[in-house]
Amino acid sequence: MIKKEITNFEEVRKQDDEAKKMNTSENYKKKKDKNLPWWVELLFVQIGLPDKLLIKILKAKKTSKEFIKNDKKSLIIFFFVIITLAYFYPVIKHAKNKLDCEAIAKNYIIKNKNTIGINNREIKMLSTNFCYGGEEIYEIENLKN
């Protein structure tokens, strides 16, 4: 009687193992039968792009994932540098525009205004004042040729 029960338990275990194996094979089939991603469906099934392009896209995707996985530190440094440059670019551009304005205003003052008795420092001050909205440049007399 005891032997019959033991054999029944062993048979039940074997049946459970076989059922699990069958379930895993069913799961494997389900994984294989997954729907295509929407972009593959749209581009390659509906529109009809060539399959060679899909192969190239999938290879590039795989290599990019490997690259990201292997070189995380260098990518973080690269993005940090790009973000830093993007953050400071407007400041640098504003400073460059102001320097250009001052140079143009200085040349204008020297060419068109009576600058006798005004030294270079005062001319630079007047050009800076003019670029920032000042009107002191209009108080200097025009040259009368």
Query: Would 26 be classed as within a structural domain?
Result: no
For residue 4, pLDDT beyond 60:
no
Query: What total of structural domains would you count in the chain?
Result: 1
Cβ count near 54 (within 10 Å): 14
- Which is nearest to 135 in space by CA: 145, 144, 127? 127
123, 103 contact by CB (below 8 A): no
Query: Would 23 be classed as within a structural domain?
Result: no
115, 142 contact by CB (below 8 A): no
CA distance 127 to 125: 5
Looking at the whole model, is its pTM more than 0.95?
A: no
Query: Would 55 be classed as within a structural domain?
Result: no
Q: Please write the tens of the pLDDT for every residue from 68-119.
A: 999 999 999 999 999 999 999 999 999 999 999 999 999 988 888 887 888 8
Residue at token pair 């509906």: 46
Q: Which residue range(s) make up the domain with 144?
A: 72-145
Query: Would 62 be classed as within a structural domain?
Result: no
> Under 8 Å CB-to-CB from 141, ≥6 apart: which residues?
113, 114
Taken in order 107, 109, 112, 113, the sign of the CA dihedral is negative
Q: What residue ranges in the chain does DSSP mark as E strands? A: none
Q: Cα-flanking dihedrals φ and ψ of residue 48, to 5°?
A: 95, 35
Query: Would 134 be classed as within a structural domain?
Result: yes
Query: Would 48 be classed as within a structural domain?
Result: no
- When mean pLDDT is compared across 21-25, 66-70, 97-101, 123-127, the lowest value belongs to 21-25
Taken in order 49, 55, 56, 61, the sign of the CA dihedral is positive
Q: Cα-flanking dihedrals φ and ψ of residue 142, to 5°?
A: -75, 155
